Structure 1
């Protein structure tokens, strides 16, 4: 089996990172997969870097906290191999499923571990929010998405680097990557995995990251198929106009008929803007990136190896 670089972004994960790295090494060695494990210490204030190094990982350090997505970009550029696997440092993803995902990456551009189980379901609010974003992301991509932002996935550096200028540097790196792959007709395959209980505490700001994820999905639609956004905006006016028209016919209420005409005219204007956006949108989706020899850290500061 081909070599793989495991990239793990970590921020204040001293409690879990040693066990995560150790378990990954055991699983990959047992499967006979040549590998390296890169831990990107994202400006941790605890002993995350030392614990990762003691477990046998190569540690790349950011001088300050720069975000989940930027840490992944740093690790991807620093990786020795083209095949990249990412996972989290908190022990929530099952290491024993990684060889299966790696094997499938020979057939697909990206293989994603779709989370299942009691630790993934969460509260009712989380489930409702997840359902809403799933509907919106599937509407954007035009196909079913089992898990848009799973943190365990395998892909190839030569594919993902084309989209680096488009991919979020924050927590929504995985959301952006999934959408960009699908909207550029790359094959994304989902494999169900059992999401596990995390070690330590979560650093996710749910309100901020939910708004950011929504922004990213809307931006993706506007970039690749803007008419879909305008259809969503026009649809309520169409329904409103239909309601006014029914009221006008049933009650001989001619002002309601005028309101129906105004609502439908508004819908027409919105759709007209959508068609205009489609006509002027750029036709080229892929982004040129530097060659491998000129690759460097995606931010302003250079990472430091430990």
Structure 2
């Protein structure tokens, strides 16, 4: 086993890898560097060969999360560092992440500031995710979606079955660590402008990121999402009944429907809570 493995998921990122890989090798000459080529059609494999780093190639694109899972399984390091291959992440920050990890944490995440966000829309969305995750977990979450992180390999592999093949692996892994009482810390970083064109498509991935909001709750404690929703339906039914009783002196179907929805939502939350507990039981 070697001390450190650095994993970079890459899809058509040769333009950035040409400069990034030599910097990584110079900063961490003893580390295992793995580029997971997610069906690239450019010179990604040639860049890896010239830099003397391992390249795991896929015949077609499986997604960012799939690349993370493949790299994690192949890595031999006790500690795994994940970073983007598009030139946004500074290799010099790896030392800071590792230093924080040595303080007793199980995962250390590079937290981007507002100036490092890819546009106002992405910045506002990430701020919403961070706020919601902080409220649900009871811990300050500085950057829920950052892909720059250092983790203890054995603990990270416990959750590979939970990671999606597409985007949002950072969200899933962070919430899984919190749920399993593994210590998570944040280190402030500056993210540079990416080299080349982003692979994120606003319409398609906007809908996916919307689902992150629900995943945040369901990965940690579903009842924290379903109970408030159930209460809202119950109160709406109560208000509707009060209104119709005062004006018509009767109970309407709408009130009954809203109360039924409150019960159904609560029961769904209860079942989801049990499923979540079973999902993590192997690691408790």
TM-score normalised by L of structure 2: 0.85
Q: Call closer, same or farther: CA 1:272–1:37 in 2, change over 3 Å.
A: closer
With 101-110 and 235-244 compared, the bigger mean Cα shift is at 235-244
Instruction: Give yes or no for the alignment of 1:55 onto 2:51.
Output: yes
The structural deviation recorded for 1:68 is 0.9
Task: Label 1:158 to 1:257 Cα distance change in 2 as closer, same or farther (>3 A).
Answer: same
Displacement after TM superposition at 1:19 (Å): 1.0
Aligned counterpart, 2:32:
36
The structure whose RCO (Cα within 8 Å, separation 6+) is larger is: 1
- Please list every run of 5 or more consecutive structure 1 residues that lacks an aligned counterpart in the other structure: 290-306
Q: Please, which of 263, 266, 274 is the counterpart of residue 269 of structure 1?
A: 263
The correspondence for 1:163, drawn from 159, 162, 176, is: 159
CA distance in 1, matches of 2:262, 2:234: 9
Query: Residue 123 of structure 2 corresponds to which residue in structure 1?
Result: 127
Aligned equivalents of 1:72 and 1:140: distance in 2?
26
How far off its partner does 1:258 sit? 5.5
TM-aligned CA deviation for residue 129 of structure 1: 2.5
The aligned runs of 1:234-253 (5 Å cut-off) are 234-241=230-237, 243-244=239-240, 252-253=246-247
Identify if the C-alpha distance between structure 1 residues 46 and 246 changes in structure 2 by more than 3 Å, giving closer, same or farther. Answer: same
Work out the CA distance in 1 between the residues paired with 2:269 and 2:122. Answer: 35
Name the structure 2 match of 1:229: 225
TM-score by length of 1: 0.79
Offset, 1:239: 4.7
* Residue 14 of structure 2 is aligned to residue 18 of structure 1: no
Deviation at 1:7, TM superposition (A): 0.5
| Corresponding residue SS for 1:19 | helix
Aligned length: 281
In structure 2, stretches of 5+ residues that fail to align are none
My pick for the range that moved more, 142-151 or 39-48, is: 142-151
Superposed displacement of residue 133, structure 1: 2.8
